[in-house]
Amino acid sequence: MKIRTSCCAFALAAAFLFQGCTQKKHLIVDEDYRQQVETQFEARKKLAENRDSALFSIFEKELSTEQREALQYLYAYMPLSDLADYDGDFFLRQVDYALKARSEFPWGKDISEKDFLHFVLPYRVNNENLDTARIVFYEELKDRIQGMNASEAALEVNHWCHEKMCYRGSDGRTSSPLASMRTSFGRCGEESTFAVTALRSVGIPARQVYTPRWAHQDDNHAWVEVFTDGKWHYMGACEPEARLDVGWFDVPAKRAMMIHTKAFGTYEETPEVNVKEKCFSELNVLPNYTDTKTVVVKIIDSEKHPVGGARVDFGLYNYAEFYPIVTKYTGADGIVSAKTGKGDLCIWASKGNLYDYSLLRADQDTITLIPNKQPGKEYTENFDLTVPPEKPVEMLDAALIKANSERLVQEDSIRNAYMTTFMQPEEAESLALKLKLDKAETARYIALSYGNHPEIVSYLTANASLPYALSFLGSLSEKDLRDTPAGILENHLNEAVENPGLSKDIYIEGILSPRIELEIIRPWRNKLKKDFSPDFINKSKEDISILTDWVKQNITVDTENNFYNCRITPLGVHQLKVADPISRNIYYVALCRDMGIPARVNSVTGKVQHYDGKDWQDIAFETETVTGKRGTLILENSPDNPVKPQYYSHFTLQKYDNGIFRSLDYEGKPVMNTFPAALSLEPGYYRIMTGSRYNDGNVRTRIRYFNIAENAVCKIPVQLLPLEERIEILGTIDMDTPVTDTNENAVTLKELAGENGIALSVIDPGSEPSRHILADLPAVKTTFEQWGGTILIMIPDDKQSSFSPESYKNLPGNVRYGIDKDRILLKRILKSCGKSDEVLPTSVFITPEGNIVFMAQGYRIGLGENLLRVSKLAATSDNRPARKN
């Protein structure tokens, strides 16, 4: 017995000794870096002292050294939004599953400390709403990737991601990964957030990569990089290929002017850093994708002395504005530099209210600017801008493509089967009848809720008798319907302050609606105003400046620490008492609404406004002043324009603000639906930019600078510069070639062409580039119908399973669908044009004679407009096609 006791005691002592060694194992081995983290952690404790218990009481638990250091690391560098809206238990679970993945998968032992800290441990990818996806994904994936190496596992995880979601455009608020999975789709930023979260959940270093804007066309894109086999590889998020370093964006990435990624925490080892802050770094990874040049910008004053602290924007034309793909600030030597692609940029330098600018051409790499210009001068400039040329890419073996396509079909069927569990229209209409609600409205809201339909049904069932039950849902964004729980909706509906003196529209927009800007909807009704006396609330209703002054005095504005730009919830701001300017504005509006004061964030200007009983009035924060003065701008459509200009597609209106021009957001606003468009604007200095793209991506832009005076009317034409194009014959095709439509009826190309020709696209219905083509067509529906030819959408038979014509709404009436068996038609077109790459989508224009006079492969925004322009050129005698040599 004594021997057994001694053995047990020895074993117990050994266990304690082993545990003690484990407890002391450092996560951060580098002592200098560990000290840096601890110093930053202490600073964060002070910053978040108003949420001390919720955030830091977790450290009172018995934690291992690794757990403690991991938590300290996350707290040291997390953005304000996370300090304000989440608690210590949430972050500890994230830490535990990150450590668990590292220990359980074979590649975990090979991950460096640096890569684990920056690209595995972080729970946040970008500006998504947070959830427990890391835990859920780990449990789903752990068995699926057993026996694989890291590269094989990364590919397999991406196939799993494709089973769960696919691409569809949405608004700028980024859904949490679990909300995206419940919905089954998302835009590229949500797909890449989803995929990075999944990869990190199984211990694979991963990061989201962005081109902030493309050079050769409008829009941007996000994808994923993974670190395996000692290097970073790329892949399309939720768009699995047969191997790493392949994606539909291969071609456009070689034309990019900037590709970047964020690293959580301080990141030292990199050849190029665009932005380096105390909590994150923005890394320039463009050299991994294409040829680059280093641009050096020098800022001097009129005496040729260097100007320090000047802002320098590297502006790329996109969506009818010069979008800053990089913003840097000069040091004492007045110099900044950046690696970028080989295309044209507009370099804009500002210091205070002074500025200077110049185009930097593709063959230039240095420029000197003197910011001494003042706003007010009226003039017009025309520019021709060049983008990087297209480059060839390596194509995968046909057998690999075929095998991968077969997997994608299977994965589509898994996702489609899940989507059949969503409530069907007839069920929604039956529910509306039962609840005595409007049938069409009810069915619409339930359809838009997708996988969140049980929550919307629960909300409607509990609140159908209330007068604003449906109007309340109408005040939400479509994404709100997809990810807001019923309890939160009920809180806002039932706790909203009544204000019978307001019209219904003002009440819904200014008080009832919980939607303010791009924040996640969380409960805040009666949680904000309870800290104010009835007397204070009543005085604020009579004089809004009382509430404005309170917010100015009690909410600290922090412009540095919310670096992912994830909106802090109103309750988070209320508790933390620290916020970035946008989150402060959201909080102010929520505080007003909770007190019964109608308020909003103006969707065009971004300014906070309250309703004074007659009109919406701006609220002044920081240094701006509110005068209430207005002038009128009337935008007229120039009679020479080949198409009706669309906001962002063809033109933008921008207001000068402290050294730079900021675009006003009129996208989708009814005032821009017809010309002339009358806009009520603040007096000031403005510019209007218009742009037209050639088929190769190059741009002609016109910029007009003008002033708007108080009580004055200013008329400005929206004028698109004409494109000087001449088409050429790229190839020919036999017009007696038969085409089989989706009903298995045969018709020849000649019959489809008639006297006007065919705009033909061979697409992959499940891919983002193809979806963009079909999304572009409604904008030119009327013009295409007037043209009179045929728009022929061909689907290869190996992609047919992911095609559903009902998915595409409001397309031109002359759209026809066909099935391209074995891609025979695509192969004939490519061979005739001297091409071999079966890139989807491939779009061509075929004249009635069988001449192919236009071709575009891959990702292309505005394709409908390109095809229309070519159809007009092909029909005019002055532009008879010239045969390509």
pLDDT tens figures, 24-73: 789 999 999 999 999 999 999 999 999 999 999 999 999 999 999 999 99
What pLDDT is attached to residue 22? Answer: 47
Instruction: Provide the pairing of β-strand 599-601 with 608-611.
Output: antiparallel
- 228 strand-pairing partners: 231
- 23: pLDDT strictly greater than 70: no
What pLDDT is attached to residue 625? Answer: 61
Type of residue found at 410: Q
- 636: pLDDT strictly greater than 70: yes
Structure tokens at 192: 């890449």
Instruction: Measure the CA–CA gap between 270 and 290, rounded to whole angstroms.
Output: 17
The domain spanning residue 781 has which CATH number? 3.40.30.10
Specify whether 168 is located in the same domain as 239: yes
Confidence at 21, pLDDT banded by 50, 70, 90:
very low
pLDDT in tens, 304-327: 999 999 999 999 999 999 999 999
Instruction: Tell me what the mean pLDDT of segment 777-802 comes to.
Output: 87
> Do the Cβ atoms of 493 and 469 come closer than 8 Å?
yes
What is the count of structural domains for the chain? 3
The stretches of 216-367 forming alpha helices (DSSP H) are: 250-253
Burial of 19 (0-12, 13-18, 19+ CB in 10 A): exposed
- 651: pLDDT strictly greater than 90: yes
Q: Is residue 299 part of a domain?
A: yes
- 259: pLDDT strictly greater than 50: yes
Specify whether 749 is located in the same domain as 816: yes
Structure tokens at 38: 């601890």
CB atoms within 10 A of CB 364: 14
- Report the 3 state secondary structure along 686-714: EEEEEEEECCCCCEEEEEEEEEECCCCEE
Type of residue found at 628: G
Which region, left, alpha or beta, applies to residue 117 given φ > 0 means left and ψ of -120 to 50 means alpha? Answer: alpha
Q: How far apart are the first and last CA of the chain?
A: 99
pLDDT in tens, 335-347: 999 999 999 999 9
> Do the Cβ atoms of 222 and 236 come closer than 8 Å?
no
pLDDT in tens, 549-563: 999 999 999 999 999
Q: Report which of residues 643 and 431 the model is more confident about.
A: 431
Find, among 129, 137, 172, 131, the residue nearest to 153 by Cα: 137
Give the distance from CA 843 to its chain's centroid. Answer: 26
DSSP state of 388: P
Find, among 69, 70, 67, 76, the residue nearest to 47 by Cα: 76
Find, among 724, 792, 726, the residue nearest to 763 by Cα: 792
Instruction: Measure the CA–CA gap between 293 and 286, rounded to whole angstroms.
Output: 10
Q: Is residue 745 part of a domain?
A: yes
What pLDDT is attached to residue 626? Answer: 66
What pLDDT is attached to residue 134? Answer: 98
Using CA of residue 584, residue 213, residue 871, residue 719, what is the dihedral sign?
positive
Tokens 């741009």 label which residue?
A: 699
> Do the Cβ atoms of 341 and 388 come closer than 8 Å?
yes
- 622: pLDDT strictly greater than 80: no
Using CA of residue 862, residue 863, residue 867, residue 868, what is the dihedral sign?
negative
> Do the Cβ atoms of 716 and 635 come closer than 8 Å?
yes
What percent of the chain is predicted at pLDDT more than 70? 95
Instruction: Tell me what the mean pLDDT of segment 558-579 comes to.
Output: 95
Specify whether 303 is located in the same domain as 354: yes
DSSP state of 511: I
Find, among 776, 749, 780, the residue nearest to 847 by Cα: 749
- 719: pLDDT strictly greater than 70: yes
Find, among 381, 376, 379, the residue nearest to 684 by Cα: 376
- Rg of the chain over CA atoms, in angstroms? 29
Specify whether 744 is located in the same domain as 836: yes
Specify whether 877 is located in the same domain as 738: yes
Count CA atoms closer than 13 A to 346's CA, side-chain side. 23
Instruction: Measure the CA–CA gap between 161 and 198, rounded to whole angstroms.
Output: 8
Instruction: Measure the CA–CA gap between 541 and 357, rounded to whole angstroms.
Output: 46
Q: Which residue range is the domain that position 321 belongs to?
A: 289-385
- 629: pLDDT strictly greater than 90: no
- 634: pLDDT strictly greater than 70: yes
- 383: pLDDT strictly greater than 70: yes
Specify whether 124 is located in the same domain as 266: yes
What pLDDT is attached to residue 421? Answer: 96
- Rounded mean pLDDT of the chain? 92
Structure tokens at 133: 């996806």
Instruction: Tell me what the mean pLDDT of segment 853-876 comes to.
Output: 85
Find, among 193, 186, 177, 185, the residue nearest to 140 by Cα: 177
Q: Is residue 161 part of a domain?
A: yes
**Per mean pLDDT, which range of 11-25, 139-153, 503-517, 656-670 is the poorest?**
11-25
Instruction: Measure the CA–CA gap between 89 and 86, rounded to whole angstroms.
Output: 9
Instruction: Measure the CA–CA gap between 162 and 158, rounded to whole angstroms.
Output: 6
Report CA-CA distances (Å) from 400 to 242, 395, 406.
Answer: 6, 10, 10
Confidence at 624, pLDDT banded by 50, 70, 90:
low
Q: Is residue 666 part of a domain?
A: no
- 522: pLDDT strictly greater than 80: yes
> Do the Cβ atoms of 852 and 829 come closer than 8 Å?
yes
> Do the Cβ atoms of 517 and 582 come closer than 8 Å?
yes
> Do the Cβ atoms of 237 and 222 come closer than 8 Å?
yes
Specify whether 241 is located in the same domain as 100: yes
Confidence at 19, pLDDT banded by 50, 70, 90:
very low
What pLDDT is attached to residue 149? Answer: 97
Instruction: Provide the pairing of β-strand 731-732 with 851-857.
Output: antiparallel
Confidence at 760, pLDDT banded by 50, 70, 90:
very high
Instruction: Tell me what the mean pLDDT of segment 790-795 comes to.
Output: 93
DSSP state of 348: E
Instruction: Measure the CA–CA gap between 605 and 608, rounded to whole angstroms.
Output: 9
Instruction: Tell me what the mean pLDDT of segment 366-393 comes to.
Output: 96
Instruction: Tell me what the mean pLDDT of segment 179-206 comes to.
Output: 97
Specify whether 215 is located in the same domain as 362: no
pLDDT in tens, 86-105: 999 999 999 999 999 999 99
- 803: pLDDT strictly greater than 80: no
- Domain end among 356, 385, 414: 385
Specify whether 73 is located in the same domain as 115: yes
Find, among 65, 118, 43, 55, the residue nearest to 91 by Cα: 55
Instruction: Tell me what the mean pLDDT of segment 115-135 comes to.
Output: 97
The stretches of 249-397 forming alpha helices (DSSP H) are: 250-253
- 10: pLDDT strictly greater than 70: no
What pLDDT is attached to residue 35? Answer: 96
Instruction: Tell me what the mean pLDDT of segment 649-678 comes to.
Output: 95
- Report the 3 state secondary structure along 712-773: CEEEEEECCCCCCCCCEECEECCCCCEEEECCCCEEEHHHHHCCCCEEEEECCCCCHHHHHH
Confidence at 623, pLDDT banded by 50, 70, 90:
low
Burial of 559 (0-12, 13-18, 19+ CB in 10 A): exposed
- Domain end among 276, 301, 331: 276
Specify whether 342 is located in the same domain as 294: yes
- 264: pLDDT strictly greater than 70: yes
Q: Is residue 581 part of a domain?
A: no
Specify whether 231 is located in the same domain as 179: yes
Structure tokens at 142: 């752990």
> Do the Cβ atoms of 638 and 717 come closer than 8 Å?
yes
- 885: pLDDT strictly greater than 90: no
DSSP 3-state of 435: helix
Confidence at 269, pLDDT banded by 50, 70, 90:
low
Q: Report which of residues 825 and 885 the model is more confident about.
A: 825
Instruction: Provide the pairing of β-strand 631-637 with 713-718.
Output: parallel
Q: Is residue 512 part of a domain?
A: no
- Domain end among 385, 404, 422: 385
CA dihedral 669, 714, 378, 381 (to 10 degrees): 50
> Do the Cβ atoms of 628 and 701 come closer than 8 Å?
no
Q: Report which of residues 869 and 878 the model is more confident about.
A: 869
Find, among 488, 430, 497, the residue nearest to 459 by Cα: 488
Give the distance from CA 33 to its chain's centroid. Answer: 33
Q: Is residue 582 part of a domain?
A: no
Type of residue found at 401: I
Give the distance from CA 660 to its chain's centroid. Answer: 23
pTM: 0.92
> Do the Cβ atoms of 132 and 384 come closer than 8 Å?
no
What pLDDT is attached to residue 198? Answer: 98
Specify whether 269 is located in the same domain as 293: no
> Do the Cβ atoms of 662 and 654 come closer than 8 Å?
yes
Give the distance from CA 363 to its chain's centroid. Answer: 31
List, in sequence order, every beta strand (DSSP E) within 599-722.
599-601, 608-611, 616-618, 631-637, 651-657, 660-663, 677-681, 684-693, 699-708, 713-718
**Per mean pLDDT, which range of 2-6, 232-236, 555-559, 839-843 is the poorest?**
2-6
Q: Is residue 764 part of a domain?
A: yes
Report CA-CA distances (Å) from 656 to 306, 327, 374, 407, 433.
Answer: 25, 17, 10, 52, 53
Instruction: Measure the CA–CA gap between 57 and 506, rounded to whole angstroms.
Output: 43
Instruction: Measure the CA–CA gap between 653 and 320, rounded to whole angstroms.
Output: 9
What pLDDT is attached to residue 878? Answer: 52
CA angle (845 as vertex; 844, 849 as ends), nearest 5: 130
Angle between helices 188-201 and 150-164 (to 10 degrees): 130
DSSP H or E segment with residue 272: none
Confidence at 207, pLDDT banded by 50, 70, 90:
very high
Structure tokens at 580: 């970035």
Find, among 644, 652, 645, the residue nearest to 679 by Cα: 652
